[in-house]
């Protein structure tokens, strides 16, 4: 494979949604198009930032794109994994270990664009390329090409924390075929949050079909009381109760609550993942690991995280990537992960799944179009028009 060109565009996302930690008003994202050449011809791969962090234009334009374009030799490797590991080594030339900052997201969006191009060069959907070259876990009860899928939403909108709105959104999510619904907590008073949770549970009929995401809001003393109250409901999981890098606090949460914990979306490397699993108190087989490889150096680094996790008794079905982007959908379906998150009913580039993906009875069945399917997701694909 040769790298022919890489282009990036930083896109404003402007949205009135909020969670306990941030507003999405000023959020940006990077759209990346990477063109490769193989013995089969030239192929353009598309990559798009993950949700909830900013675009990576500066880092990409200054360091990572020039570094990749400086390589005029062929990037070799007998399998896609080996080729992509060599791409990864080029991207990380002259980069010190640790201190990931925003760098891991810049590499992640660029690396996943190249995976899209590689899958297209093999005339395979990304999920089938991953199944062929990495292998499916077989541990999630679904065949390759399918994944469990859930709807996430229930954001705080500016000036509104209306339980009726959350109830309607949860109902719409399950009516649309998603398996369960996740809403935000920790960004309003506990009374408002409990009313929102109650409304969501009422809409879907079971607390096990409702998860909550606190975006690290329960790190203070009062948080333990709120967490304990939520723990009594029997929800599917409580996500990011505290800062995921505060392993001591996280381990305390895991000891004090019986509800499964989900965390990892702010874990950006194999080393961070290893620390989380060793010191965060998480319970293999019960808790969910949400590392988001678009934020965390791409799929190549993600595959390395499995190795540590499996040695500690976790399986790939315990992994459920954050954010609901197309590459995560394909990774879940190709590698046999625990499921896929998607913002089901809110509209916009992050919402839903590609048009050739069927969602029914809590399962997404992916299509056969080559690549990761951004072209089949019109609200997202239109953001690439200036680059193509």
Strands 261-263 and 288-289: parallel
- Cβ atoms < 10 Å from Cβ of 141: 10
Residue 239 · residue 262 · CB < 8 Å:
yes
322 is catalytic: yes
Catalytic member of 136, 182, 184, 377: 184
> Closest approach of Cβ 265 to Mg ion, in Å?
5
Residue 247 · residue 276 · CB < 8 Å:
yes
DSSP string, 102-120: THHHHHHHHHHHHHHHHHH
Supply angle C-alpha 111, 269, 56, rounded to 5: 50
Nearer to Mg ion, 19 or 300 (CB): 19
Residue 180 · residue 204 · CB < 8 Å:
yes
**Which residue sits closest to Mg ion, CB atoms considered?**
213
Nearer to Mg ion, 142 or 211 (CB): 211
Contacts of 349 (CB under 8 A, 6+ apart): 13, 29, 48, 377, 379, 380, 383
Joined together, the tokens standing for residue 251 give 């381990």
> Closest approach of Cβ 332 to Mg ion, in Å?
16
Supply angle C-alpha 104, 110, 113, rounded to 5: 135
> Closest approach of Cβ 369 to Mg ion, in Å?
29
Strands 340-342 and 146-152: parallel
**Residue of 236, 242, 238 whose CA lies nearest to 220:** 242
Nearer to Mg ion, 213 or 375 (CB): 213
Nearer to Mg ion, 144 or 267 (CB): 267
> Closest approach of Cβ 266 to Mg ion, in Å?
9
Nearer to Mg ion, 111 or 213 (CB): 213
> Closest approach of Cβ 213 to Mg ion, in Å?
4
The position carrying tokens 């009135």 is 16
Nearer to Mg ion, 23 or 86 (CB): 23
- Cβ atoms < 10 Å from Cβ of 244: 23
Helices (H), the chain: 57-59, 65-69, 80-91, 103-121, 126-133, 163-175, 190-204, 221-231, 247-256, 270-279, 298-311, 326-335, 378-381
> Closest approach of Cβ 65 to Mg ion, in Å?
29
> Closest approach of Cβ 260 to Mg ion, in Å?
14
**Cα separation of 110 and 31, whole Å?**
9
Residue 266 · residue 244 · CB < 8 Å:
yes
Strands 41-48 and 2-12: unpaired
Largest CA distance in the chain: 61
Catalytic member of 7, 44, 56, 322: 322
Query: The dihedral of CA 93, 94, 100, 105: what is its sign?
Result: negative
Residues engaged in binding Mg ion (CB under 5 A): 213, 239
Nearer to Mg ion, 83 or 263 (CB): 263
Nearer to Mg ion, 7 or 226 (CB): 226
> Closest approach of Cβ 262 to Mg ion, in Å?
8
Active site residue ranges: 184, 322
């Amino acid at each position: 494979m040769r790298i022919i060109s890489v282009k990036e565009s930083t896109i404003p996302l402007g949205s009135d949604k909020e969670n306990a930690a941030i507003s999405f008003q000023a959020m940006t994202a990077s759209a990346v198009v990477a063109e490769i050449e193989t013995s089969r011809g030239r192929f353009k791969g598309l990559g798009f930032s993950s949700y909830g962090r900013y675009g990576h234009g500066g880092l990409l334009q200054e360091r990572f794109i020039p570094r990749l374009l400086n390589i005029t030799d062929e990037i070799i490797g007998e399998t896609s994994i080996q080729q992509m590991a060599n791409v990864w080594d080029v991207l990380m030339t002259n980069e010190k270990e640790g201190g990931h900052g925003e760098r891991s997201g810049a590499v992640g969006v660029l690396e996943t664009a190249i995976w899209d191009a590689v899958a297209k060069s093999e005339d395979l959907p990304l999920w089938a390329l991953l199944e062929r070259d990495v292998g499916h876990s077989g541990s999630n009860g679904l065949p390759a090409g399918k994944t469990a899928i859930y709807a996430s939403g229930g954001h705080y909108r500016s000036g509104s924390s209306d339980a009726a709105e959350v109830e309607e959104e949860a109902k719409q999510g399950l009516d649309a075929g998603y398996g369960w619904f996740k809403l935000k907590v920790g960004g309003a008073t506990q009374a408002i949050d409990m009313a929102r949770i109650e409304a969501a549970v009422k809409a879907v009929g079971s607390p096990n079909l409702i998860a909550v995401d606190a975006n690290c809001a329960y790190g203070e003393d009062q948080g333990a009381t709120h967490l304990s109250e939520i723990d009594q409901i029997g929800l599917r999981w409580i996500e990011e109760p505290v800062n995921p890098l505060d392993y001591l606090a996280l381990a305390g949460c895991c000891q004090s609550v019986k509800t499964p914990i989900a965390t990892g979306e702010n874990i950006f490397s194999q080393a961070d993942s290893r620390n989380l699993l060793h010191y965060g108190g998480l319970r293999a087989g019960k808790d969910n690991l949400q590392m988001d490889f678009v934020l965390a150096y791409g799929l190549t680094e993600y595959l390395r995280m499995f190795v540590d996790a499996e040695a500690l008794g976790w399986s790939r079905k315990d992994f459920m990537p954050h954010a609901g982007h197309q590459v995560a959908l394909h990774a879940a379906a190709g590698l046999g992960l625990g499921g896929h998150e998607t913002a089901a009913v809110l509209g916009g580039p992050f919402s839903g799944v590609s048009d050739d993906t069927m969602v029914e009875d809590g399962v997404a069945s992916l299509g056969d179009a080559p690549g990761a399917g951004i072209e089949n997701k019109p609200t997202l694909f239109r953001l690439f028009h200036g680059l193509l």
